A and B are shown apart, each in its own frame.
Chain A
Amino acid sequence: MSRSSLRKIVEASLSRRLLPDGGFVGRLGGTFQVDSTAWGMLAFRACGGSDEILERLRALLAREQSGDGRVCVNRDHPASYWPTPLAILAWQNSPASQVAQNRAVRFLLETTGSHFPRNPDAPWAHDTILKGWPWIGETHSWVEPTATCVMALRATGYGQHDRVREAIRMILDRQLPHGGWNYGNTLIFGRELHPMPENTGAALTGLAGVVDQEKVARSISYLQGEVDRLRTPISLGWGLLGLAAWDLWPSNGTALVERCLANQTRYGDYDTSALCLLFLGALAGEPNTKTALFLHSSRNQAPAVLTQ
């Protein structure tokens, strides 16, 4: 699959999922979904989509934002604010979206997961005080939402903020002793839990450029060892993004993406968020990728805020 054919596939897939009134559906034939719209915008921008459409989408996403800046799965579930960092990335480089983006950034900086003092007798091993971000309000901080918040805040110039520094420490603290990350527990009752490629990819993407490679070398090795067997879009998408962020996008990455796309005959059409994540992972293999998720790799030297 050539670069141009990949871009055509991305464009065709996204156009089938774009609603006439704007926004992306969660699944083909389904209804508008906030996270799908944010992921769709990131993929659309990464493949050079038109600014006019992007601006319409940004405005629509801003209408979904609550007064305090959060962007939720839906307004009836105000605790489900995990799409907020995705919205921040989707609004990147849009003067018209600056107010919405600033409000969302402020919300993240003022919001944290639920944390409690570390207890040496507790069955879990991680440092429960270190703050990141949760999936859902009033719950503990976990790896993937923290990684996406770090990406969003770094992209908007808050890379040195105390909350981001602490979140980076939190992600490192949740790294499994033998490498890789899972959703965010390391050891329970003294047993090391299993790593998962999607969480490992997200964590590596968030940490690229701010921690020394030796600190995550085992996790990179784990992901490199896994990537050939990844067949599904969330794992492969985050896996490719995580490796690309460290300039290690695999030489057979295109073939892996093709195989994953072909698997839709087996699984049915992928949902939009997962598909867009896969597209971003695929596009990350190209030089000078314009994706807001890459911040400081040599592939993309300048912060994303300047790249488009």
Chain B
Amino acid sequence: MSDHMDPTSTGGLTRRDLLLAGAAGLLIGSGLLLVPRRYFRMPQQAQSFVTKVAHYQLDIADAITRGIRELGISPEELKGKRILLKPNLVETASGASHINTHPLVLRGAIEAFLRLGASTVMVAEGPGHRRDTLAVYEESGLADVLTEDRIRFHDLNYITGYELPNAGRQSSMRTLTFPAIFQEVDWIVSVAKMKTHHWTGATLSMKNLFGVMPGIYYGWPKNVLHKSGVENSILDINATLKPHFAIVDGIVGMQGDGPIMGDPKQVGVLVMGRSLAAVDATCCRIMGIDPYKISYLERADNWLGPIGEGSIEQRGEAIAAVRTNFNLIDTIPAQQGIRLT
């Protein structure tokens, strides 16, 4: 780690950065440079939509369609678009379906995007723990759903990659290698699971994108990303890939020792929006977690999207109406002191 770039660096200089640098120069010696960087960023605005869905047998396609419309996304914007849905498939275990995005949420998303005019919808994932992607695909129940719906599934772990310069520049990775199939789609949608996480506090739509990085270049687990710093890598991937939309499956989430060994948590919500940072911040508040205490979200604030409550226009249900505190584990450092007061 010692040869890595300063993790607070954000890379390329914009006019705003230069102005801020000038302002920072004036502040040298005053101690104000110790103030978090987010206070020097131009505030951003975003919307997120929360809807109650008590269980997976309800009409999820209708809930997602309504959310997309409420967020101001018109059918014209989606007409003819090729949509790639990226679920959270990690591994499977008997009686632990809450590890992965529920297949019926994916079915709902597929139906919603097709209903709104998308030309094709595909599902793609590259699990980090299991080299046998098809086994996770099968055992999670997703294979049954996609086979029945005649939707293609792509294993991202084995797809030849294309390189992009690392736009986030939080880690020392100069480039990121994404699956070539991403060059053939118009929208990338992170369809994540609402979970606590033992390294990062919470894993939601931004962290979910670890799974797009092909195992053939990043390993199983995707240890290159761990070595580069989990939080740095989350920011780099999101800044470089620029995903278009997020849907978080919070119908049943995971609390405690996530992302694998935690317990199921009934929340009964779907959360969605264009800004992944804003969606994840909303999810955190629903989980009773302070998003400013989740390091990668705090660093993403007003860069990859806003996370402040006042900067996120909340559509659908109010957070207070659906908030249910997720259990946190005192002995896990990433979960210490993150409770939203």
> Could you say which interface size class chain B belongs to?
35 or more
Which of B155, B217, B219 has most A Cβ within 10 Å?
B219
Q: Is B293 an interface residue (CB 8 A)?
A: no
Question: In the complex, A26 Cα to B131 Cα: how many Å?
Answer: 15
Known: A114-B227, A136-B219, A232-B138. Contact between A198 and B132, CB under 8 A? Answer: yes
Task: Report A190-242 residues with CB < 8 Å from chain B CB.
Answer: 191, 193-194, 196-199, 230-235
**What residues of A have a CB within 8 angstroms of the CB of B177 in the complex?**
77
Instruction: Give the contact-size bracket for chain A.
Output: 35 or more
- Segment from A39-47, A52-60, A137-145, A157-165 that makes contact with B: A137-145
Chain A residues near B137: list those with CB within 8 A: 267
B261 → chain A, closest Cβ, in Å?
A: 5
Of A26, A139, A198, A268, which contacts B130 at CB under 8 A? A198
Q: Which residues of B contact A271 (CB under 8 A)?
A: 155, 158
| A193-B261, A231-B138 as given contacts; A136 in contact with B132, CB under 8 Å | no
Q: Is the CB of A267 within 8 A of B134?
A: yes
CB contact under 8 A between A266 and B143, given known A139-B224, A232-B132, A232-B135: yes
Which chain A residues border B135 with CB–CB below 8 Å?
197-198, 230-232, 234-235
How far apart sit A82 and B218, CA to CA, in the bound complex (Å)? 11
> Which residues from 204 to 246 on chain B have a C-beta closer than 8 Å to any C-beta of chain A?
215-221, 223-224, 226-227
Given A189-B332, A191-B261, A271-B158, CB of A196 within 8 Å of CB of B224: no
CB atoms of B261 and A138 under 8 A apart: no
Whether a CB of chain A sits under 8 angstroms from the CB of B64 is no
Q: Tell whether A305 is near chain B: CB-to-CB under 8 Å.
A: no
Assess A196 versus B217: contact at CB under 8 Å? Given A31-B160, A77-B177, A266-B143. Answer: no
Residues of A near any B CB (own CB < 8 A): 26-27, 31, 33, 35, 73-74, 76-77, 79-80, 82, 114, 123, 134-136, 138-140, 142, 144, 182-183, 185, 188-189, 191, 193-194, 196-199, 230-235, 266-268, 271, 273-274
Give the top 6 A-B pairs by smallest Cβ distance, nearest first.
Answer: A135-B219, A139-B223, A234-B132, A232-B134, A136-B219, A232-B135
